[in-house]
Amino acid sequence: MNDQPNRPHQPYDPYRQQPQTPQAWPGQGYQGHQGYEGYEDPQAAQQYTQQWQGQTWETQNHQEVSPAQAPDPETAILTPQSPPQRPAAPAGADASAAGYGPATVGGNTRVTDAQRARAEGRSPIIEPGMQPAALTALLGLLLAAAAAVGTYALLVPLVVLQAVTAAGWFRLNGMWPARQGIALGFAGALAADAALLASGRSPAAILGTLGVWVLLALVLQLRSHADPDERMYGLMATVAASALAIVAGGYLAAAADAVTVGAVAVAVAVLARALPLPTPVSVVVSLLAAAGAGIAAGQVTDLGTSGALLGAGAAACALIGHRVASYDYPSRFVHFTAGVALPLAAAAPAVYVLGRVLA
């Protein structure tokens, strides 16, 4: 028999002196002789256990869950919480939501639209479309009509073409605003026009002005305090914009009949290229349409049927300019500047050379 007298059960007193045992944090009790989680009485331990009340939200997808679906309080304290995961953007999502940004020169490391298109297996080429083609055709018809009127009448649409060419090239290369480079290229075009008028429309004025402006652009870039890479990029863009704007002055050096035939052929070719056709078919249709327009315009001038060759040659150069203006995901502003001007500017050398050969 047990010799010890029976002792009455004493209720739990939280202020009573406890034996020296390892202490435990709430929810991580010491498993010893004291019963449930370091307390003698499980019912008394519940008043010190954190109770889960109210609505909760799951951090993974931010969906509201009910208290019945909440995790166990003891397990929730012990279980490490993983950081919320951001869902990946779908393939057709907006570029800004997926972290993509526009192409820049200032060191933006985010993926550009053109790089994203290449990574997804899509073409980074976007053609200007019918509206820029209509503006190109309008400007080409103005050149053709002005050439039939006289030299100084031709000068008006030519200056517009040269200004849009210089601005469009800088925008096509992602450099905007670039007022100094655009002003320098346009000033070179005006200097070439003045030299052509002063020299009796000699093509040597174009070459001389081009050489002087390349040297001027080099000197200005050497005096710049920008980074070497940015200076080289600015130099190439300035030289190319100046060269295209100056070379467009070839319409002023060419014969009036050649300008009329070539400008009409470019206008028809660009409109045909904007038709919703496959690219190879569209190119063939454009060249054939330009040759037919050259024959029709040649009947009005002294070129006759030889206008077909001039029209096809001018159209081939214009399609090259059209392709350049379509490269690397250009913006709408590029389409209405470079997309309008580059086909006509690129066709100017062919109009001059073929006009001299076929005359």
Q: What is the secondary structure of 269-334 as a DSSP string?
A: HHHHHTSSS-HHHHHHHHHHHHHHHHHHHHHHSS-GGGHHHHHHHHHHHHHHHHHHTTSSS--HHH
pLDDT for 320 beyond 90: yes
Cα 347-351-357 angle, rounded to 5 deg: 145
pLDDT at 232: 86
Q: Which of 137-151, 170-184, 233-247 has the lowest mean pLDDT?
A: 170-184
At 122, the pLDDT band (50, 70, 90 cuts) reads: confident
d(CA 233, CA 107): 13
Distance CA 65, CA 137 (A): 64
Q: What percent of the chain has pLDDT over 90?
A: 49
**DSSP3 helix / strand / coil % (the chain, rounded to 5):** 60, 0, 40
Higher pLDDT, 309 or 85: 309
* Structure confidence by residue, pLDDT tens digits, 78-117: 444 544 454 464 444 444 444 445 544 444 456 667 777 7
Mean residue pLDDT across the chain: 78
Nearest to 251 by CA among 162, 126, 329: 162
Pick the closest to residue 189 from 219, 171, 152, 164 (CA basis): 164
pLDDT at position 14 is 52
pLDDT category at 57 given cuts 50, 70, 90 is: very low
Cα–Cα distance, 78 to 55 (Å, whole number): 20
pLDDT tens-place string over residues 10-37: 555 555 555 555 554 444 444 444 444 4
Sign of the dihedral through C-alpha 9, 11, 12, 17: negative
- Transcribe 340-355 into DSSP letters: HHHHHHHHHHHHHHHH
Who's near 292: CB < 8 A, 6+ residues apart? 268, 308, 311
CA distances from 168 to 153, 177, 186, 220, 332 (A): 24, 11, 11, 21, 11
3-state class of 63 per DSSP? strand
Q: What are phi and psi of 41, to 5 degrees?
A: -110, 115
Q: pLDDT band at 275, cuts 50/70/90?
A: very high
Question: CB within 8 A of 285, min separation 6: which ones?
Answer: 272, 273, 275, 277
- Burial class (CB within 10 angstroms; exposed 0-12, middle 13-18, buried 19+) of 99: exposed
Q: Whole-structure pTM over 0.95, yes or no?
A: no
Q: Which pLDDT score, from 0 to 100, does residue 247 have?
A: 95
pLDDT (0 to 100) of residue 302: 86
**pLDDT score at 243:** 95
Q: Tens digit of pLDDT for each residue in 163-179?
A: 999 999 988 887 766 78
Task: Identify the pLDDT of residue 36.
Answer: 42
Burial of residue 280, with CB atoms counted within 10 A of its CB: 0-12 exposed, 13-18 middle, 19 or more buried: exposed
